Amino acid sequence: MQVITDSTVRAVLKERPAISHKGDFGRILIIGGSQQYGGAAIMSAAAAVYAGAGLVSVASDLSILTALHTRLPEAMFIDYHQPFMQWRATIHSADVLVVGPGLGLSSFAAQLLNNLLQTVHPKQTVIIDGSALTLIGREHIPLPNANIILTPHQMEWTRLSNLPIDQQTVAANQAALTAYPNAILVLKKHHTAVYQHQQVQKLTIGGPSMATGGSGDTLTGIIAAFCGQFGTNYQTICAAVYTHSAIADELAKTQYVTLPSQIIQALPHYMAKIAHQS
């Protein structure tokens, strides 16, 4: 198995063209959050903004609007309880869709997810995270013909693959992923691994300081921003995964816990450093 290194990030991250505008760097739509789990969608959106996405919108419960705009005035907001057809055009205009962070497991969430996955078109990237992974496994919701990125932790992967955690070997994971032929799998664990068909690469960085709520939501936002700016491909996703853990490792030199909000704040500085080196 190959190891993801900083050379992957350097190959992806480049200086921005002098003549460019926000539309050049990706339109991201995050569908998630709820009254109970609003912070997940906010962290995912913040990570996308700080990682350089051109435009970020959040479709969520109205209860998180004030918190979102207080924390992240750069993001736009859509009330996902309004009739689906009223914001369907926003879905179609997104380059990258993130669905699941903090969405919950209600019947409303299941219906929203089903409607969304039936609406996307083949050129879009759909990152499926958190609650959406559980809903897909539980409700047997089919995945669309699009660029799919699955970002489960090991228990969520069990729900999708029927593989107990102690049986999640590389070979078993590759075999299970054949059920999702157009998907790239980011399996979050100690030394996170990224799977695409027969290709597997893993991290050797990252550590226990990252074991706190919101780390996965932050990673999802970084992946979304990288795909929006640099295109959806295996190398870009590996670069996003490495960036998340590299920042955390740097913070962990002087901190017992690396908070997701701190990783988010450090993103522009880390990306500038790498881009200048490239």
Give tens-digit pLDDT for 19-42: 999 999 999 999 999 999 999 999
Predicted pLDDT of residue 20:
92
Query: Model pTM greater than 0.85?
Result: yes
Under-50 pLDDT residues of the chain: none
Q: Any binding-site annotation on 140?
A: no
- Res 263: pLDDT: 98
Which of 207-236 are b and which e, b meaning 16 or more Cβ less than 10 Å from the residue's Cβ?
Answer: eebbeeebbbbbbbbbbbbbbbbbebeebb
2-277: which CATH topology? UDP-N-acetylmuramoyl-L-alanine:D-glutamate ligase (3.40.1190)
Is 217 annotated for ligand binding? yes
State yes or no: 191 annotated in a binding site.
yes
Q: Is 95 annotated as a binding residue?
A: no
Residues in the chain: 278
Q: Are 186 and 98 a contacting pair, CB within 8 Å?
A: no
Asked whether residue 192 is marked as a ligand-binding residue, the answer is yes
The three-state DSSP-derived secondary structure of 155-205 is HHHHHHHCCCHHHCCHHHHHHHHCCCCCEEEEEECCCCEEEECCEEEECCC
Query: How many whole angstroms separate alpha carbon 136 and alpha carbon 127?
Result: 13
pLDDT at 176: 97
| Predicted pLDDT at 198 | 85
Residue 273 is labelled as binding a ligand: no
The answer to whether the annotation marks 221 as part of a ligand binding site is no
Residue 1 confidence (pLDDT):
84
pLDDT value for 46? 98
- Taking Cα atoms as reference points, which of 213, 263, 256 lies closest to residue 242? 263
Question: Which residue reads 């996405």 in tokens?
Answer: 53
CB-based burial of residue 168 (10 Å sphere; 0-12 exposed, 13-18 middle, 19+ buried)? middle
d(CA 203, CA 237): 12
Is 92 known as a binding-site position? no
